[in-house]
Structure 1
Amino acid sequence: MTQEHCNHDPISHKEIQGKIDKFGCYIILIEANDSLPAFAYTIGLKQKFNHPEIISFGLSLDLLGSLLNDACDLIKNGQSLQVGICYDDFIEDFPVQFLSVDKSFLPNYFGIANNFYNNLNYSALQLVWPDKQSLFPWEEGFNANWKGTISLTV
């Protein structure tokens, strides 16, 4: 995964910075492959708002992009997304939560952000969504078939 993520078409620093300046962040969308679900992450939240970057897994790229854009909009409007709080405004009828991403995951999942920042001196949150019973991966009864598609840390 790391090789594929790092070797796809390069995006210029200028292009990323332009989107950050205009929209508040740049969103990287990574298609699913044989070993990983689709995922998406932000670049620029740290730079523009001193907020952790955000990553999410396992949904369609369109939905992942929409969720991260919604998160960016909240941050632009002064909200700081916090670990362990349920947010009801992301997916209709389902809450989401944010988890801290261990820095050891940054090299493997945030390749373009690492190049943009030229270091690993930033933090990230993972937007985690529940199963169809509104259970999160760390809750009893969560659909075990979804664990590998939804979370870095659980």
Structure 2
Amino acid sequence: MTDEQIKEYFEKLNNNIKEYGYHVTNILESDSPGFCYSTGIYQTYKIPEIFISSLPKGLCSEIIENYVEAFKDGKEISLNEKLNFLTDRFPVYLIDVPITNLKEYVLSSIKIYGDKEFKYLQVIYPDIEGIFPNEAGYDYDQDIMGALKK
């Protein structure tokens, strides 16, 4: 990216945080699974940011939007439990992810937050057979950045 493109990107990111409370960055990879992540949720709503590996852009946006709506008013976030309301396509888990595990992925958040505290959760989803990574027979290319309890 050129300096001008970087400037424009961060202007858009900051405008989205002001207008919607957060921004979603989608990274498409040619030789490995893509990913998306939020920036601004922790600052705006005091709930962890979201990281999602290997799902399409529209589905990532849907899950992040539903997450914000579900938890922005202080509802307790259930970690390592199947949740059926972040998308109607399949249940998901939310797991805690140390920022150190994401430092090469969530560059926009690292730039925006600087030295301020922020947290991330990862959305974990099943393969096409409905099997999760912590279950026998799981078969999908999803990078898991935290610990999914069995």
Provide the C-alpha distance between the structure 2 equivalents of 1:67 and 1:60, rounded to a whole number of angstroms. 11
Corresponding position of 1:149: 142
Which has more strand, going by share of residues?
1
- State which of 38, 53, 68 in structure 1 corresponds to 2:34: 38
Residues 48-91 of structure 1 deviation map (CA, whole Å, 9 limit, x = unaligned): 11111101011112211222122122233443433112211233
Report the residue type matching 1:89 in the other structure.
F
User: Which range moves more in the overlay, 49-58 or 16-25?
Assistant: 16-25
SS at 2:103's partner residue? helix
Provide the C-alpha distance between the structure 2 equivalents of 1:85 and 1:136, rounded to a whole number of angstroms. 12
Report the alpha carbon displacement of residue 47 of structure 1 after superposing the two structures with TM: 0.5
- State which of 23, 29, 35 in structure 2 corresponds to 1:26: 23
Corresponding position of 1:137: 133
The correspondence of residues 55-94 of structure 1 with structure 2, limited to 5 A, is 55-94=51-90
Provide the C-alpha distance between the structure 1 equivalents of 2:87 and 2:35, rounded to a whole number of angstroms. 16
Corresponding position of 1:128: 124
CA-atom RMSD in angstroms: 2.3
Provide the C-alpha distance between the structure 1 equivalents of 2:117 and 2:30, rounded to a whole number of angstroms. 28
Which has more helix, going by share of residues?
1
2:33/2:53 contact within 8 Å kept? yes
In percent, how many aligned pairs have the same letter?
A: 22
SS at 2:85's partner residue? strand
- Where does the alignment leave 5 or more consecutive residues of structure 1 unmatched? none
Give the TM-score normalised by structure 2: 0.82
2:47/2:72 contact within 8 Å kept? no
Provide the C-alpha distance between the structure 1 equivalents of 2:130 and 2:116, rounded to a whole number of angstroms. 33
Residues 74-133 of structure 1 deviation map (CA, whole Å, 9 limit, x = unaligned): 233443433112211233352101111122223111101100111373110001111133
Distance 1:80 1:43, change over 3 A: farther
SS at 1:88's partner residue? coil
Distance 1:58 1:68, change over 3 A: same
User: Which range moves more in the overlay, 23-32 or 64-73?
Assistant: 64-73
1:57/1:150 contact within 8 Å kept? yes
- Where does the alignment leave 5 or more consecutive residues of structure 2 unmatched? none
